[in-house]
Structures are given as C-alpha cells and as structure tokens.
Copies of this chain bind each other. A is one copy, B any other.
C-alpha cells in the first residue's frame, strides 16, 4: 500500500470497498473520521434523544433517513461497504466482524455518524501539544466513570472518557484547542484527578491501551465516543451494526469545518 492509496477520502473509501481491512488512523489526513452506529428505526428515537441529552460524548454529525446508506458527510459513499471493518451485534452480543454489510442491510435501518477524537488529536499536534498515544503507537486509554449519562428511553449508562497525558504547561492550550471543537467532543470534562471520576488505576484502562506518562504530564479526560456503544450494548437491541474499533468512516468533511473560529 502506498500512501497515495489512502491519501484522500475517496481513495481511502475505495480501497476499503475493494477489501482493504486496516485501521483508518492516518488515512486521508485533514478529513474528519466518524464513529458509526446503525440501529432499527424502533431504536433510533432513543439513540437520537441520548445524543441530544449527552452532546459531549455523543456529538451527532449526521443521522440518515431509515433505509438509506447515504450521508451528507460524503455524498458518494456507501455506508454498507465503505468502512474498513464492521461489527454486527444481535441482542447486545458481538456476532461477526465483516468487511461489508450489504447482505445485512434492511430498509428500517438508521445510521448515526458520531464525531471522533481523531479530529482533535490533529488539532492538538498542530498547536504543539504532544499526543502520547500517537507517539507510543498505542490506542488511547479509555475508562468507565462514576458519572452517569442522562438516560433516554431504553438507553442508560456511564460516561466513558478517553485520557491523554498532557505536559502541565500545555494543559491550557489543550483545553482551548479542543474547546473550539464541540462537535468532536469539545473541551475536556476533567483535568488532573482520576479519583473524582471514579477511576482507580490509570494504567488499567477499561478499553484501549495503557499509555506512558512523561515527567510533568497531567492526566486530561475527554468525553469519549465509546459512551453510546456502551449504553447501547448494555440495553441489548435485537440488531445493530457499528464500525470496528479504529476502523472508522472517512468523511469528505475537512477537520477545519468542526473548528470554531
């Protein structure tokens, strides 16, 4: 694979459609990547309300019409084929990880495209803030917290946060840069005190990998897109499709679009 293969959103989606199964990190740099959650129409109202009530962990970038596999975030894309890998869930259990879900599509399915912290990691790097998980080639550390989301219908669950070690002198910059991007989780929800979120051990994340601190780094916590998946799977809808972790939907929307001036 040459870099040119996945340098643009159209090229990256075309490669995935043709069978490339890899995490989308670093592909189509400068363009927003999104989490995908697909649910039957019967469950879509609860999900939409959960997003309205919990915008920090669930920033809804687009919600499709029932049955449609098209999104305004990338008008030429096909949501059934253009992600590198999917997860299929039945009654809350993971049953398959296919690279194509065309055969599973139904005309009552509603797709939710949800903002992702990849967008703000780019902005942090551009502002001179190191992103330790990228430096260390690891997935970001994520934790269930003792903070409950506001429930919506059948959906309820804890706020899940991602944590990044940030040099103390750069914490203000990290807050300001991400605070200007509310549609991709926005400003941190907490800085410096894991215990007040009910997190016992930073080196034992609930999801993702442990990430090493450099001397003088402070733990900074952002609302995380795993939150809706955790609530959803806990409530066991009969059928759902999501992206596989790290295998995101690459949109045509420049990251800049979600930065407030």
Contact = CB atoms under 8 A, between A and B. Distances in A.
A52 B49 contact: no
Contacts of A63: 49, 52-53
A227 B13 CA distance: 36
A205 to B, nearest CB: 30
Contacts of A150: 72
Contacts of A261: 179
Assign chain A's interface to a size class: 10 to 19
A117 B182 CA distance: 21
Interface string A39-76: 00000110011011100000010110100000010000
A102 interface: no
A57 to B, nearest CB: 16
Contacts of A196: none
Contacts of A60: 52
A146 interface: no
Contacts of A235: none
Contacts of A62: 53
Contacts of A65: 153
A256 interface: no
A60 B152 CA distance: 15
A260 interface: yes
Interface string A224-261: 00000000000000000000000000000000000011
Contacts of A53: 62-63
A105 to B, nearest CB: 20
Given A48-B49, A52-B52, A65-B153, 12 more contacts: A44-B45, A45-B45, A48-B48, A48-B52, A49-B63, A51-B52, A52-B60, A52-B63, A72-B150, A179-B260, A179-B261, A260-B260
6 contacts: A44-B45, A45-B48, A48-B49, A48-B52, A52-B60, A182-B182
Q: Which 9 A-B pairs have the closest CB atoms?
A: A45-B45, A48-B48, A52-B63, A52-B60, A49-B63, A48-B49, A48-B52, A44-B45, A45-B48
